[in-house]
Amino acid sequence: MKCELCQTRNAKIKRPKNQMPVCHECFYIVFEEEIHHTIMTNNLFKRGERIAIGASGGKDSTVLAHVMTTLNKRYDYGLNLELLSVDEGIIGYRDDSLETVKKNQITYELPLTIVSYKDLYGWTMDEIVKVIGLTNNCTFCGVFRRQALDRGAMLIKADKIVTGHNADDIAETVYMNILRGDFFRLHKCVDIMTGREDALPRCKPFKYTYEKEIVMYAHFKKLDYFSTECIYSPNAYRGYVRELIKDLEKVRPSIITDIIHSGESIKIDTSNVQFPKKMNCKQCGFVASNDLCKACVLLDGLNKGKARVAIGRKE
């Protein structure tokens, strides 16, 4: 069968997004061009900006570093790209994946900054798990990572942070927010750029990029990425939602894009949604919706040996 795009080479794959038979060369082109289109139509960047690429060494962020470097050169975006990694302190997982980021730093010739939980908060995830066990570890980790990325980006004087969140991640988050009635987050999770008016906006150039295509791209291009899951990963709830979407995808490949479009189109009656206030944490000065930011509340709990109490406190 011939490739549907060039009509000359043999088709080697079926695009997961639309089932189109294409050759490898055309697949690379459409994959990259769709991301370029997303970047341009959403005005994600301005010439001269310093962009921190959140790099974990996994497939998404490795492909993100590769594609951002490629497009920045091809279309002369004029961006200063840098890699920014967070070391959660998980032996046997993050130490290995950071080795992959270091290799990428050399391949793409990008500066790399690593910020660690140990330096920022005085605790590694390994130490936190020893104290709190394996029930709420991802709550700590998620809150700390978010702030750690901000802190790292401020350190390198970045104008924006880009993350490798892909279409599957966003569709899962839309679904999870609907299931738990979290309309504030539903509103936010489909936004390609959050915090536009803040000092450090975050954007997701892979918002419409299918995970399967990211894996294919990384595989055929032989990119160096780390594929092991975190040793503390439970995430049962997201796991169920992911399975459900994967099952639906088998009968309707467009389901991922459909869910994202639904999330974008849902009009929210804001009179019923409590939007958190924005202020600065009295302890660390970072963004908070209360006197103390979530990271400080969790950290205080840990330091006082009352981590379980801290989790129950509403921000």
Helix H segments across 205-293?
211-220, 236-251, 255-265
Q: Cβ 56 to ligand SF4, closest distance in Å? A: 9
Let me know: does 143 contact 151? Beta carbons within 8 Å.
no
Q: Cβ 125 to ligand SF4, closest distance in Å? A: 6
**How many amino acids of this chain bind ligand SF4 (CB under 6 A)?**
9
Task: Report the residue from 11, 63, 79, 125 that binds ligand SF4 according to the rule CB under 6 A.
Answer: 125
Task: Report the residue from 38, 69, 100, 137 that binds ligand SF4 according to the rule CB under 6 A.
Answer: 137
Residue 257's binding partner out of ligand SF4, Zn ion, none, with CB under 5 to 8 Å set by partner kind = none
Give φ, ψ of 254 to 5 degrees: -80, 5
Using alpha carbons only, give the angle 66, 71, 74 rounded to the nearest 5 degrees.
125
The span of 138-146, 204-212, 267-275, 280-288 binding ligand SF4 (CB under 6 A) equals 138-146
Task: Report the residue from 48, 78, 92, 142 that binds ligand SF4 according to the rule CB under 6 A.
Answer: 142
x/- map, 259-298, Zn ion, by CB under 5 A:
----------------------x-xx--------x--x--
The span of 7-15, 32-40, 78-86, 87-95 binding Zn ion (CB under 5 A) equals 7-15
Is 89 known to sit in a ligand binding site? no
Query: What would the two tokens of residue 147 be?
Result: 């702030």
Binding to ligand SF4 in span 67-96, by CB under 6 A = 88
Neighbouring residues of 166: CB distance < 8 A, sequence distance ≥ 6? 60, 206, 207, 209, 210, 211, 214
Q: Cβ 107 to ligand SF4, closest distance in Å? A: 24
- Is residue 154 close enough to count as binding Zn ion by CB under 5 A? no
Using alpha carbons only, give the angle 72, 78, 79 rounded to the nearest 5 degrees.
75
Residue 26's binding partner out of ligand SF4, Zn ion, none, with CB under 5 to 8 Å set by partner kind = Zn ion
Let me know: does 126 contact 117? Beta carbons within 8 Å.
no
What is the Cα–Cα distance from 50 to 73, expressed in whole angstroms?
A: 15
Let me know: does 296 contact 281? Beta carbons within 8 Å.
yes
Count the neighbouring beta carbons within 10 Å of the beta carbon of residue 179.
11
- Is residue 233 close enough to count as binding ligand SF4 by CB under 6 A? yes
Altogether, the residues listed in the chain come to a count of 315
- Interface with ligand SF4 (CB under 6 A): 88, 125, 137-138, 141-142, 230, 232-233
Binding-site residues from annotation for ATP: 54-56, 60, 86, 164, 169
